[in-house]
Amino acid sequence: MSDTAKAIVIHEPKDLRIEDCAVDRPGPGQVRIRLAAGGICGSDLHYYNHGGFGTVRLKEPMILGHEVSGVIEMLGEGVDGLRAGQLVAVSPSRPCGQCRFCRSAQFNHCLNMRFYGSAMPFPHIQGAFREVLVAEAWQCALADGLTPGEAAMAEPLAVCLHAIRRAGPLLGKSVLVTGCGPIGILCILAARRAGVDQIVATDLAEFTLGMAKTAGADIAITAGPEALKTYEAEKGHFDVLFECSGSVHALRGAIPAMRPGGQIVQLGLGGDMELPVQAMTAKELSLSGSFRFHEEFFTGVSLMRKGLIDVKPYITQTFPLSEAVQAFETAGDRSRAVKAQIAFS
Q: From first to last of the 345 residues of the chain, give the pLDDT tens digit.
A: 568 999 999 999 999 999 999 999 999 999 999 999 999 999 999 999 999 988 899 999 999 999 999 999 999 999 999 999 999 999 999 999 999 999 999 999 999 999 999 999 999 999 999 999 999 999 999 999 999 999 999 999 999 999 999 999 999 999 999 999 999 999 999 999 999 999 999 999 999 999 999 999 999 999 999 999 999 999 999 999 999 999 999 999 999 999 999 999 999 987 778 899 999 999 999 999 999 999 999 999 999 999 999 999 999 999 999 999 999 999 999 999 999 999 998
Contacts of 137 (CB under 8 A, 6+ apart): 29, 30, 31, 75, 76, 79, 81, 82
CA atoms of 227 and 237, how far apart (whole Å): 14
Q: Is 185 helix (H, G, I), strand (E, B) or coil?
A: helix
Distance of alpha carbon 192 from alpha carbon 187, whole angstroms:
8
Cis ω before 123 (30° cut-off from 0): yes
Domains of the chain: 4-153+311-343 (3.90.180.10), 158-289 (3.40.50.720)
Round to whole Å and give the CA distance between 162 and 288: 12
Distance CA(58)–CA(9), nearest Å, equals 11
Chain CA centroid to CA 60, Å: 23
Tell me if 20 sits within 8 A of 124, measured CB to CB: no
Are the CB atoms for 179 and 243 separated by under 8 Å? yes
Beta-strand pair 174-178/238-243 = parallel
- 144 burial (CB, 10 Å; 0-12 / 13-18 / 19+) is exposed
This prediction has a pTM of 0.95
Question: What DSSP line would sit under 189-209, residue for residue?
Answer: HHHHHTT-SEEEEEES-HHHH
